[in-house]
Amino acid sequence: MARRYTQRVQRALPSRLDSLTGLRFFAALLVVFHHFSNFASLPVIWRYTGFGATGVTFFFVLSGFVLTWSFVPNDTPGRFYWRRFARIWPLHAVTTLLALPVFYSWRDTPYDWTAIGLSFALFHAWVPTATTYFAGNPASWSLSCEMFFYALHPLFVRTTLALRGAALAICAAAVVAAVFVVVRWSPDWWPDRIVGWLLYISPLFRLGEFLLGVLLAAALRRGFRVPFGVLPWSIAVAAWFHLEYVFAPDHFPAEARILVAQGTYVVLPLLYAAVIAAAAQLDFDNARSWLRARPMVLLGQWSYALYLVHATIIYAFIDAIGVRSYAPIQNLGWLCVIVALSVAASAALYTAVEHPIEQRLRQYQKRWLAQRSGPSPAPSPSLPGSN
């Protein structure tokens, strides 16, 4: 049954979802703003810069969506794992080498080669110690989570795609409930150091966001559609940020502020899922979408490199000239400089490293498969690669 269903829906899928590619850039930019706040404060939005860390939440939901949406029935786990390795690891290795001098030599920080080795192997997020899960290139902790998600995805994707709408809704509700239970009561169960790792870094905890993306893709393949468009859902995201970072701290009692902060762990993944679905629906309907414009698609293609290289650039500036004092005009200028340098570096890394190495590794896989057992599986729809 699952096989017949996946074969039927695959023929009906649009070949490209470029609006999702454009969205990726804005998620990466959120993370850039978050880390820039360690270098210089920004006028007006300084109270909101913490939300930039939730760009990773967007990427985890998007990852589950993309991998499930692009699934083809005759794929195998081995082929899938190789494509994910080709997509993720080469650029990770290069940007980690670029990051080591900035985060170690320039700061007179001793090299912890055990932790760095774990980071190269993408196992470091499993260790609840900051010097380990932020080892090498600190941004790569999220890739350690992604590798865990990739390992699991082939084990449940066919079963998930065979579920009907009601079952998908029940699964999504169960995921959200499980996340909230962990968030609500983990401070009572564990010391602060473990709770900090658990609720931000832990691959097991972040799996919930990935699963929401998987379930969303399965639901859209079943015909589910979200109401409203990208802009209303993005405004809802901004409204929640304002509630958490400004309104609640200024107007709510302590217990209500805690509840809002804990609610963010389930509200934001759901809101980001709605944004993703709304953007995908633009492409389903072949509707006008500025997110599909060529410049946006390019920026989205560079977003993985932007995510991996921007912190190295920011902290290189911190090492060289120190943290900037509060000067609104000058700091906006610094932001423009940092963003421009980061985008330029990401474009260069995508062009010289990420794309050509990924294509070469994929061609190697195709030749190997052709020699062993005939052609490789039908190409997946052209979708943004996940982080």
Q: Where are the domains of the chain?
A: 2-373
| Mean local confidence (pLDDT), 271-286 | 93
State the pLDDT at residue 7. 43
Task: Please give the torsion angle defined by the CA atoms of residues 269, 149, 129 and 257, in that order, rounded to the nearest 10 degrees.
Answer: 10
**For residues 382 and 127, what is the distance between their CA atoms, to the nearest angstrom?**
35
Instruction: Note the pLDDT tens digit of each residue in 54-91.
Output: 899 999 999 999 999 999 888 899 999 999 999 999 99
Closest CA to 64 of 30, 20, 34: 20
| Mean local confidence (pLDDT), 307-315 | 97
Least confident range from 154-163, 276-285, 308-317, 319-328: namely 319-328
State the pLDDT at residue 57. 95
Instruction: Please report which confidence band the pLDDT of residue 286 belongs to, taking 50, 70 and 90 as the band edges.
Output: confident
Closest CA to 278 of 228, 224, 209, 220: 228
Please determine, for residue 380, whether its predicted confidence score (pLDDT) is greater than 60: no
State the pLDDT at residue 204. 96
Instruction: Please report which confidence band the pLDDT of residue 297 belongs to, taking 50, 70 and 90 as the band edges.
Output: very high
State the pLDDT at residue 378. 55
Tokens of 23: 């969205």
State the pLDDT at residue 371. 77
Instruction: Note the pLDDT tens digit of each residue in 104-157.
Output: 999 889 999 999 999 999 999 999 999 999 999 999 999 999 999 999 999 999
Instruction: Note the pLDDT tens digit of each residue in 212-254.
Output: 999 999 999 999 999 999 999 999 999 999 999 889 988 999 9
What percentage of the chain exceeds 90 in pLDDT? 73
**For residues 327 and 222, what is the distance between their CA atoms, to the nearest angstrom?**
52
State the pLDDT at residue 180. 95
Instruction: Note the pLDDT tens digit of each residue in 143-201.
Output: 999 999 999 999 999 999 999 999 999 999 999 999 999 999 988 788 888 999 999 99
Instruction: Please report which confidence band the pLDDT of residue 26 belongs to, taking 50, 70 and 90 as the band edges.
Output: very high
Q: Which has the higher per-residue pLDDT, 351 or 285?
A: 351
Tokens 């890739």: give the residue: 143
Q: Which segment, 8-22, 126-140, 276-290, 362-376, is predicted with the most confidence on average? A: 126-140
Secondary element (H or E) of residue 117: helix 113-121
State the pLDDT at residue 335. 93
State the pLDDT at residue 47. 72
Residues 6+ apart with CB under 8 A from 63: 146, 149, 210, 213, 386, 387
| Mean local confidence (pLDDT), 359-367 | 89
Instruction: Please report which confidence band the pLDDT of residue 13 belongs to, taking 50, 70 and 90 as the band edges.
Output: low
Question: Do 259 and 45 contact (CB within 8 A), yes or no?
Answer: no
Closest CA to 84 of 278, 362, 363: 362
Mean of pLDDT over the chain: 90
Please determine, for residue 1, whether its predicted confidence score (pLDDT) is greater than 50: no
**For residues 334 and 340, what is the distance between their CA atoms, to the nearest angstrom?**
10
Total residue count of the chain as it appears in this document: 387
